Amino acid sequence: MVGFVGLTVSVLIFLALVSYNPHDASFNVSAPAPDAHSAVNWIGPVGAYGADLLFQCLGYAVFLLPIVMFTLAWRWFRSQPVESPISKIVGCTLLGIFVPALLALWHWPDVRGAIPPGGLFGHLIADGLLGALNTVGANVVAVTAFLISLFLTTQFSFTAVHELVSVPIKRLDPVGRVRDRWAAWREEREQVRLKKRLAEIKSVGRQPVASQAAGPGTLLLKSAPAAGAEIDEDEPETRSPIEEALAGPILMRTQEPKSPAPKSGGDPKIARAAGGFRLPPPSLLQAAERSEKMAEADLKEYAHAIEVKCQEFDIGGRVTQINPGPVVTTYEFKPEAGIKYSRITGLATICASRCAPNRF
């Protein structure tokens, strides 16, 4: 209900401001009685008096009032909370102070030719800024305060404004369009040149690079294919064909491994598998040795010790299974019927002190 009433009031204020007529009866204008002459304002005499009072105080900035009221009422109507209400109040206050001042400083036309553009408040604030900071300083302070109020009350940002303004400016900028066309023409020309160079290399080939003796620590040069050699285009490459064709010789630093001393008795035989590569046999692997091995008798002795220790605390049961491991050995203890497991877990420390350490 509150949101609906706020929406209605904001619409009435907006209609009264839009249909304002300085010749209607108001606080500063005398006119015949309402029964003899009706107000021109769409909201009647109430709208005429209210619009005249608001324009006299704030000038054109009074249109911010129905906008702010409509926004708040709409959020109230939809049960949406206002984020950072204190900052919003401060921002609205700055708007109400410095927007009329800017209107007065920039000498906008009067409201209906009768009321100053900034109203009484704008005139007083503008005169105070001019008296203290002169024209340039007053404009700088007023514009700064206006931008700060936009930051506080709206989602205004310079990045969004730049993106919004850059599109029409770019369309109207002849120098930018000529520069873009020049860059596109140069790129197209370079692509054509590279394609011609690639076709020439495929048909004629590049001159091979002179080979050098490969010694320890020398540089090996990978030369291009000789004239008449075919280029395998189906081979996968990480670079584009144009870049691969135009790439120069590849330099690689290699170090020749030391060859072992020749053995007497003829050349060694090279074993070749008939069916290709075969994995080495598992016999090459060595089984890992356990850090500690326990005899079966010791395991059974530890299990009997656990059963005896539990009998001392009236916990009957027996060890049903032993799982020895390389580090930890587990004993599965099955208690008799009616014994709670909490009694067994409470004896774990006592059993561990009498039995094998770190194994229970």
- Name the residue type at position 146: F
User: Tokens representing 336?
Assistant: 């008799």
Mean pLDDT across 291-317: 81
pLDDT value at position 205?
A: 59
Question: Is the per-residue pLDDT at 360 higher than 70?
Answer: no
Least confident of 25-39, 54-68, 345-359: 345-359
User: Tokens representing 231?
Assistant: 């280029």
pLDDT one-digit tens code per residue, 7-44: 999 999 999 999 998 888 888 776 655 555 568 899 99
Average per-residue pLDDT for the chain: 77
Domain ranges of the chain: 2-156, 296-354
CA–CA distance, 141 with 148 (Å, rounded to integer): 11
| Reported pTM | 0.46
Question: Is the per-residue pLDDT at 354 higher than 80?
Answer: no
Residue 320: closest CA among 335, 308, 337: 335
- Name the residue type at position 123: H
Q: List strand residue ranges (DSSP E) for the chain, in order.
A: 219-222, 250-253, 317-323, 330-335
Residue 53: closest CA among 119, 99, 114, 97: 119
User: Tokens representing 52?
Assistant: 């005249």
Question: Is the per-residue pLDDT at 194 higher than 90?
Answer: no
CA distances from 189 to 75, 203, 244 (A): 58, 22, 19
CA–CA distance, 291 with 297 (Å, rounded to integer): 19
pLDDT value at position 239?
A: 52
Domain 296-354 has CATH 3.30.980.40: yes
The share of the chain scoring above pLDDT 70, in percent, equals 71
Integer-rounded Cα Rg, in Å, for the chain is 47
Question: Is the per-residue pLDDT at 249 higher than 70?
Answer: no
Q: Which residues pair with 115 in a beta bridge?
A: 111
pLDDT value at position 251?
A: 43
